[in-house]
Structures are given as structure tokens and as C-alpha cells.
Structure 1
């Protein structure tokens, strides 16, 4: 999957509407070449920040390119984008590099994050275990979105949930990282799930303190 450039209206939408008062930091994570850069690029209303580098022969020795004939670049730091969900809530999206050698960067990027969306590839489902393991170790709640690659085999969500050994409450959805509507729905499902979870310092009514959300 190639990166999707920001549309002209999105690129022009630099300023936030005056009514927005809640900002949420979310991570978009997943293994190498699962579509994180494409996902952030398809959603961002501003020109996304990308730190992609051309892959070299040396990188091929450590990055598994089996079945990835179109993969020529890789994220080496982060992808960053912004999505205003409504007139009060804006999401800041941080896409992480997928290779294990960048794991220390993950730990820094989780600071201030409310949760993560794990992108998964049904063709390489086993690679998602390490990603989910890191999030669980860090105590960061997550949802899983199956990125629909054109040549991916068809499996029901119940089968995938069992294969990934997900908890019943962990959201599992399908999405196409190239499609803005599909990707937005996946993020909304994550946010809905996060709002059901108690947070440290939350008020008795269950709301997350605004200060926690805004200190990104």
C-alpha cells in the first residue's frame, strides 16, 4: 500500500475551530509494512509529518520484505497527523515505526497517549503479538483494526479474535488504511472504547479530566 497524499481541503485546514477544547493523543501502531503511514496520511486534515527513508540493501538484512514487492521506504521516527472529530474533540495521531529496533522510541511516544490502534495484516497475523505485548507491558489500552489488503484471505472476525487471543472487550474492526471513512470509523471505535475505561484521577462521573487529555 502506498501513502495517500493529503487532499487539498485537508492540507488547507491548519487551524482548529474555536470551539475545540479537548485534545487526545493516540498512537497508530503495528508491525513493519502494515500500513501505518498510509492510515495517518489518509486521515490527517493537515499535511502529515513523515520521517520515511528509502530502504537500502543493508536494511533488507533485518527487515522481512517477503511478499512486499512495492515496499521501498520505511518510517524511521514517526508519522504525525491531526483529525478533528467534532466541534469539541481533536485527535493527534502518532504513527510508530514497526521494527523492533525502534522499540525504545515507542516508550517515549506512549507518554501522554490515551490509547493505541493496532493495525494488523491477516496475512502476517502472528507479527501482531509482539506489538500487543509491548502495549500491554506499558499498560496502554488498544483496539485492533484489520487492514484490508487486496490479496488477503477472508476470515471472520470471530476467527481472528480467537487467533489473536483478544479479550472480549477489546474492539476488533476491519478497515482500509487508504480510505478516510473506513479509517475514521476504526478510530471512533477506539475512542468509544477508551471512554468506557476508568482513568487514573478520573472524576466520579467517569469523565477523563481535561488536563490529562491536553497535556500531550
Structure 2
């Protein structure tokens, strides 16, 4: 009796069923200038305890790190932040926050491998600190959205003013909100997924199928 053939068919069918049910895993980078809120956003939206590599600022960084406008900040990310959010049964986002200080930018080249899209956070008080992130993703053809971190609901720039100041492509979405709040951060990520599904990002996202469920 061909028991082995039957067992092989059962294992094959089980493997196919498991593969069909497994959600797609999408790597997303969270970038932006120093002190703009990357670590906070990952922590706010992650469904697991986030991994972070924050260290205290020391006298060694004086004259090296630009802390203009964020003088009260006492820590900085020296490697990465990591979190995860399940959008629906078909899609899981893995979030990688990049270090913001210039002396750690060399790590971006490693973190970007396998990333399907990115979020660039900006603080309207220090818009120039986000130029490097925008240039980085544009030069690599990686779709991104811009999140304007409106701390405590403060909005001192309009969307059109931010778009002009950052010289953004007309198709680059801008989302404004207090990204310390889970809902605002979630909406920003959903905007990125919608961009990846749209025709404007098809050239960069070939071979990936993503599905959005607004209940996330």
C-alpha cells in the first residue's frame, strides 16, 4: 500500500494551506531628523513591546550633534527602533526606526534592504532636518509618505506650505497629526499602504500584494 505517497500528499496540502494563510510581511522604515518623534511613533503604534537602542546624550556629542530646537532631549537612537503592527489577516508591518543623528546615517544603507516603503517624520520648527531622509528615499526610488508631527495639536504650517518647503512630488501624501497617539500613527501607516497599492508606487512595489483593512 502506498502509505508514503499518501503522507507526502497530506504534507504538501498542509504546506500549501499554511502558505496561503500566512500574512504578507512588509518592512517599513520610519525616518526623519533628530528628535522628530521616530522612537515615540514606533512605541505608540507597535502591538509588541518595541525594541529600541536609545542611549543618553553625553558631552562627547557637543559640537557634533545638532540639538537646535530639541535642547531638552536627553537620549538618542544609536542603531534602530523595531516594532510590529498587524493591519489585517493578510498583512503585517515590521517597523524599523532609523537613527536621526548624522554620525549614525551610515546605518541607513543596511536598514533599507528589503524595505517596501518609508515614513518621513517632520517637525515644522526644523524642516531642514528632514531633507536628508527625503533625498535618501528619492534617490533609491522607495515610495514614502510624510508625517507632520503636530505636538499637542499645534499646526503652525499648512499642508501646502510643508509641501513647498520640502519640494515634494505632488503625489507624495502628507499626513498631519500628533503621532504620539496610536490612531494618528496608524492612519499614517495606512496612507503609506494605500500609496503602495496605487499606480504611483507600482513601479517600486512590483511582486508585492498588500491589502488594507481600515479596522486595524
Could you tell me the TM-score, scaled by structure 2's length? 0.81
Q: TM-score, normalised by structure 1?
A: 0.81
CA distance in 1, matches of 2:158, 2:89: 35
1:208 is matched with 208
Contact kept? 2:32, 2:100, Cα under 8 Å: yes
Query: 1:176 & 1:33 partners in 2: Cα distance?
Result: 14
Asked if the contact 1:123–1:153 (Cα under 8 Å) also holds between the matched residues in 2, the reply is: no
* Higher helix fraction (1 or 2): 2
* Alignment counterpart, residue 192 of structure 1, candidates 191, 194, 198: 194
Which structure has the larger Rg over C-alpha atoms?
2
CA shift, 1:208, in A, is 2.1
Q: Secondary structure at the match of 1:188?
A: helix
Matches within 5 A, 1:50-89: 50-89=52-91
1:66 Cα offset (Å): 2.5
Q: Following TM superposition, by how much is the alpha carbon of 1:209 offset from its aligned partner in structure 2, in angstroms?
A: 5.7
3-state SS of the aligned residue for 2:125?
A: helix
Match of 2:182 in 1: 180
Q: Is the 8 A contact 2:196 2:205 kept in 1?
A: no
- Partner residue of 1:93? 95
Q: Specify whether residues 150 and 157 from structure 1 end up closer, same or farther in structure 2 by C-alpha distance, changes over 3 A only.
A: same
What is the CA deviation profile of residues 145-175 of structure 1, one whole-angstrom value per residue up to 9, with x for unaligned ones? 0011249552211111111111110011112
Q: Is the 8 A contact 1:146 1:174 kept in 2?
A: yes
Match of 2:141 in 1: 139
Q: Deviations over 1:105-137 (max 9, x none)?
A: 101111100010000000001221121111112
The CA RMSD measured in Å over matched residues stands at: 2.0
8 Å CA contact 1:199–1:208 kept in 2: the answer is: no
Query: Which runs of 5 or more residues in structure 1 are unaligned?
Result: 1-17, 211-216
